[in-house]
Amino acid sequence: MKATNTQKILVIGYVWPEPASSAAGCHMMSILRLFKQQKWQVEFASPAQDSDHAIDLAQEGISRQSIALNCDSFDVYIEQFQPDIVLFDRFMMEEQFGWRVEKNCPNALKILDTEDLQCLRHARHLAYKNNCEMNQQDLFSDVAKREIAAILRCDFSLIISSVELQLLIDTFKVDPGLLHHLPFMVDLENLPHKTPTFSERQHFMSIGNFRHAPNWDMVLYLQSLWPAIRKKMRKELPNAELHIYGAYPPPKATALNNPKTGFLIKGWAEDVYTTMERYRLCLAPIRFGAGIKGKLLDAMISQTPSITTSLGSEGMHQDEPWPGVVTDNMTDYVDSTVRLYDDENEWIKAQQYGVDLLHARYDSQRLGVELVSKITHTTDNLKQHRLNNFTGEMLKHHTMASTKYMSQWIAAKNANGCD
């Protein structure tokens, strides 16, 4: 997987990576570590405020740089750094800094990491709030116009979900050559060989960053489902508990903590794998969102069967059996939760399905080779690659100019406070 030459990589992050707080942080770190494995020089820059929970990039051999929005100081910085590759973390960063990269480093390979399709997440959330099916009007929003434009302006984009990849190709008519499917990368060699057994585990758990709207909705939904689950469990386990973990729990979440009913808000999990492997089941009745779900991948890694919805499992498997149960019927959800909790044979079978799925779709070695190959091939054929993408070049010429002049106007207005 080693590249033939040393590359200078600049990653422009929406936030500083927090792998202990979010799936997005884990995904970003797996990409950064892949770049480091190639012996490439990697720098991470972000306009975000520092976070106490951000990973120490220096320990990873990655330099860091704070940058400012709408500020000409970025031009000076990137002109001096002269990266060979620029990776934008979500389309908002491409909107903000893409034209400056183009101006100062026109030959740099430009990659967009979508994390998940923001326009799809936005459309589903809107449809959910309106209690209706998502339609074309919801999907073809202003967010979609901005996001698809950013995808077209870049040399290629990383798409985490196979469903979103197909949506871009079929619905938005994006050239497949501008897209690269990159799900979560898992180091299979470091998977746990042994985790607590069926009889050594107890209770249910769920996890998710509380700042993420689909996760908060999931907590509220679990609160409504829990009485029915606990009532069915009473004969076998009268003291059954559901433990809810997640980063940044707000007061409205901690207020839901109820030891009397066994619905417990635990908050931060110091280590997601050692936490999850203590429980018999992971519950994730997700009702809207996009991308693929880090919590369900973590459940597979910790060999904890999960019960989720079709949206929760979307893009994570195809023909492979799910390591647990997928259902959108909430009566069935409750029944399946109790049944799988009690059935050791089915539970062990679900465990193995998770291991099989990790090997089938999330092997970091294979996925890493494919990404480095995509980078190398696109770099070696960059001139023709861009000629083939006339729409993207046209968008750079027109749309980027408007972004450029708006940004320059803001920069001039804020000149006294922009060093």
Whether residues 198 and 334 fall in one domain = yes
Strand ranges (DSSP E) for 271-344?
281-284, 306-308, 324-326
1 domain residue, yes or no:
no
Whether residues 394 and 307 fall in one domain = no
Range of the structural domain that residue 141 is part of: 8-185+364-417
Whether residues 325 and 401 fall in one domain = no
Whether residues 181 and 199 fall in one domain = no
The whole-number average pLDDT for the span 205-209 is 95
pLDDT of residue 397: 80
Number of domains in the chain: 2
Whether residues 56 and 174 fall in one domain = yes
Whether residues 265 and 305 fall in one domain = yes
355 domain residue, yes or no:
yes
State yes or no: pLDDT of 419 exceeds 60: no
Q: Which of 320, 336, 361 is the last residue in one of the domains?
A: 361
Q: Which residue has the tokens 């202990």?
A: 20
Pairing of strands 85-89, 204-207: unpaired
Whether residues 385 and 349 fall in one domain = no
Pairing of strands 41-46, 63-66: parallel
Whether residues 209 and 342 fall in one domain = yes
66 domain residue, yes or no:
yes
CATH number at residue 224: 3.40.50.2000
Q: How far is CA 256 from CA 34, 203, 216, 247, in A?
A: 40, 18, 12, 16
The per-residue pLDDT for range 380-413, each reduced to its tens digit, is 999 999 999 999 999 988 766 666 666 667 777 6
Nearest to 298 by CA among 2, 32, 19: 19
State yes or no: pLDDT of 150 exceeds 70: yes
- Going by pLDDT thresholds of 50, 70 and 90, the confidence category of residue 51 is confident
Q: What share of the chain is helix, strand, coil (3-state, %, to 5)?
A: 50, 15, 35
State yes or no: pLDDT of 1 exceeds 60: no
The per-residue pLDDT for range 64-88, each reduced to its tens digit, is 999 999 899 999 999 999 999 999 9
Whether residues 373 and 355 fall in one domain = no
Whether residues 349 and 411 fall in one domain = no
3 domain residue, yes or no:
no
pLDDT of residue 399: 64
2 domain residue, yes or no:
no
Q: Which of 339, 361, 383 is the last residue in one of the domains?
A: 361
3-state secondary structure (DSSP) of residue 56: coil
Whether residues 148 and 62 fall in one domain = yes
pLDDT of residue 144: 97
Q: Which of 313, 331, 361 is the last residue in one of the domains?
A: 361
Whether residues 357 and 378 fall in one domain = no
- Going by pLDDT thresholds of 50, 70 and 90, the confidence category of residue 232 is confident
pLDDT of residue 418: 55
